[in-house]
Amino acid sequence: MSVAEPAVKAKKKRRKRTVVATVLATVGVIFGALWGLDAWARQQVADYVTEKVQQVLSLDSDEPVSVEIAGVSVIAQIITGSFEQVDVGVDDVTLGDFTGGVTMRAEGIPIDMSRPVDRVQIEFSVNERSIQKIAHLLSATSIDTVELVDPEIQFASEFTVFGFSVDVGVGIEPFAKDGEIGFTPTSLELNGVRTSASALSERYGSIASSLLQTRTICVARWLPEALTVDDVAVRDDDLVITIGADKAIFDDASLRSLGTCG
């Protein structure tokens, strides 16, 4: 082996290392650029989703909306023509007579909004304080206190008969049907003692009957027609209204068309 051979080999190794380093650096620059581009695209999509949610829920333009887009690459999803999943949260939403927080999950959202979204599910959580504000909708008689105790909304009312004060506690369970949420009396207390609806009606007549009526509120009239009221239930300290849609279109025309009840 000549003296020059080791020097030639060393030179080749340095050249290979230089080439590898250059390739890695180039890949790093490209990856960084793509990552930055994807972050920009993610923000643009989030802004668009925020605008749509504000439109669907009739929110003020400055109402904070949290948006989380699933998937590693937003650009890859744009190329395929749809987004896998988008989760949205809004803390303060007014829906007709109700005020509460909203969480929404949409799956299979097309880039072209003239095509249907695979699935949308919204949970509207109304707290006890908000229910107290709409207590007049739950009974034809004045209500003094309201408490949410799973699975009931429990309210207390006081009325006077022949100069005597009578305390009545009524537990009502919510239900959803044909775009409405309703409230059916399921438990009764008279001056702290559990009783039946028939016994209360027999004893106090029309005054008791006004407490025992099933009441309904049309929720669909506040929502885009594509959405349906699927369920309503008391969960812990909230009245949770579940709203959903399968294979529904949410373009501008659809969002302007509101639902009906019955």
Position with higher pLDDT, 246 vs 141 = 246
Residue 103: the pLDDT is 95
Of residues 205 and 185, more confidence is placed in: 185
Q: Averaged over 200-210, what is the pLDDT?
A: 72
Is it the case that residue 11 has pLDDT exceeding 70? no
Measured CA to CA in angstroms, residue 81 lies from 92, 110, 111, 247, 262 at distances of: 32, 6, 5, 16, 37
**Binning pLDDT at 50, 70 and 90, where does residue 221 land?**
very high
Query: How many other C-beta atoms are found inside a 10 Å radius of the C-beta of residue 199?
Result: 12
What is residue 74's three-state secondary structure?
helix
pLDDT at residue 10, rounded to an integer: 52
Give CA–CA dist 198/221, Å, rounded. Answer: 35
Token pair belonging to 253: 């025309």
> 214 or 181: which carries more pLDDT confidence?
181
Give me the mean pLDDT over the 97-118 stretch.
92
* pLDDT of 32 strictly over 50: no
**Residue 219: pLDDT over 50:** yes
Averaged pLDDT for residues 226-253: 94
33-75 tens-digit pLDDT: 444 577 888 888 888 888 888 887 778 778 889 999 998 788 8
